[in-house]
Amino acid sequence: MINNIENFIVSEIRGRAGIITLNRPKNLNALHLPMIQQIYQTLVSWKNNPAVERVIFDSNSDKAFCAGGDVRAIYDAIKVQDYHLAFQFFYDEYQLNHLIFSFPKPIISLIDGIIMGGGAGLAMNGTYRVVTERTIFAMPETAIGFFPDVGAGYFLNRCPGKIGLYLALSGNKISAGDCLYSKLATHGVLKSRLDNLKDQLINDQSNLQDILKKHHVVLGQSDLASHQSAIDRYFSQPTIEKCVQALQTDVEEWPQKVLETLSKRSPTSLKVTFSYMQKMIEANFKQVMQQTLVLSQFFVKSYDFQEGVRAVLVDKDQQPKWQPDTLASINSKLVEQALHFSIRQKLPI
């Protein structure tokens, strides 16, 4: 049985599995509101369906699993003062993230190609995350004046050492080997074997973990592993300003590249993201998502989000003019305002 719902997703039940295929290839499967709602409705319909023993997320794009949320649509809405759409988008997306996290059946994401932002919200909150040698992961939100949302305060904080904080602040892209090292991925498989794995997940009567283990391969070296001690040293500081100062004292190539990257990010995003990640270390997933909704509404009404989307995705001049433009210009009151921003309603989770 196949459902092709307005072409945004293709859902079907085959063998033992419910399969959701992301189906916006021209947009690299970027999530917009109808797509989010359709995935949510499909999962709800399968929750108590005995024909579905497990759920598989995959993509029809040769380039991406999912390149993120369709923030351009949110930007366009904000430009005409339509804040209702901005709230509804994040409200529904975070409900979907929570449904995936709490789903009573295993969810396996087959991640080939780009996975960023909202795509990570689909995959990282599920049970198993299978990457290929072509996987590229990032949470690049600080580059557009936003913050790592979709449960990142939970799944990035479970990476070894301070890797999660480093990825949250820098937005740097990492490889499949890095994903496996940092526990963001649970298994690796060669692209050439991905269809075979999918077929076995659908039809094989074997134990699910045995199937995944049978196909698992290590996919290259991890750059994150080689820089683990440096990441822990620089990002164990008590404030983002101290992290920057620590990087400035090291003239080696890697810390200088990180420093250059951070200098291009929104100072407001860096400051708030640092506090958010620290605050969420001991939080459960529900608490992370409630805080995430609050921060999303702070940022969509901020200057930096609109300027960041303009510079990166609209005009594409890659020259955002942040306000304030330095970390030193941001006081603790702004961070507290962000973390306690007033919203119309909490998530019903």
Tens digit of pLDDT for each residue in 173-219?
999 999 999 999 999 999 999 999 999 999 998 999 999 999 999 99
User: CA nearest 137: which of 188, 197, 192, 67?
Assistant: 67
Q: Are 65 and 59 in contact (CB under 8 A)?
A: yes
- The CA distance from 160 to 97, in Å, is 22
- The CA distance from 250 to 236, in Å, is 15
pLDDT at residue 323 in the model: 97
- The CA distance from 183 to 178, in Å, is 8
Burial class (CB in 10 A: 0-12, 13-18, 19+), 102: exposed
Q: Is residue 136 part of a domain?
A: yes
State yes or no: pLDDT of 271 exceeds 90.
Answer: yes
289: domain CATH number is 3.90.226.10
If DSSP codes are grouped into helix, strand and coil, which group holds residue 192?
helix
Q: Is residue 223 part of a domain?
A: yes
Q: Is residue 146 part of a domain?
A: yes
Burial class (CB in 10 A: 0-12, 13-18, 19+), 348: exposed
Residue 335: what residue type?
Answer: V
Residue 135: what residue type?
Answer: T
Q: Is residue 16 part of a domain?
A: yes
pLDDT at residue 7 in the model: 81
What percentage of the chain exceeds 70 in pLDDT? 98
Mean pLDDT of the chain: 96
Q: How many domains does the chain have?
A: 1
> CB under 8 Å, gap of 24 or more: what pairs does 255-260 form?
255/230, 258/166, 258/170, 258/172, 258/234
State yes or no: pLDDT of 2 exceeds 70.
Answer: no
Active-site positions read: 69, 118, 141, 149
Which of 6-20, 49-63, 131-145 shows the lowest mean pLDDT across its residues? 6-20
Q: Which pLDDT band, with edges at 50, 70 and 90, does 6 fall under?
A: low
Mean of pLDDT values over 249-267? 96
Q: What is the pTM of this model?
A: 0.96
Q: Is residue 349 part of a domain?
A: no
| HEC letters along 211-269 | HHHHHCCCCCCCHHHHCHHHHHHHCCCCCHHHHHHHHHCCCCHHHHHHHHHHHHCCHHH
Q: Is residue 75 part of a domain?
A: yes
In order of 151, 259, 265, 325, 331, the CA distances from 262 in angstroms are 22, 5, 5, 12, 18
In the chain, helix, strand, coil percent, each to 5? 50, 15, 35
Residue ranges making up the domain that contains 170: 2-339
State yes or no: pLDDT of 3 exceeds 80.
Answer: no
Exposure b/e, 314-345, CB count within 10 A at least 16 = b: eeeeeebebebeebeebeeebbeebeebebee
Q: What is the distance between the terminal CA atoms of the chain, rounded to a whole angstrom?
A: 31
pLDDT at residue 98 in the model: 98
Q: Is residue 347 part of a domain?
A: no
Q: Which pLDDT band, with edges at 50, 70 and 90, does 332 fall under?
A: very high
Q: Is residue 299 part of a domain?
A: yes
| DSSP code for 315 | S
- The CA distance from 141 to 109, in Å, is 22
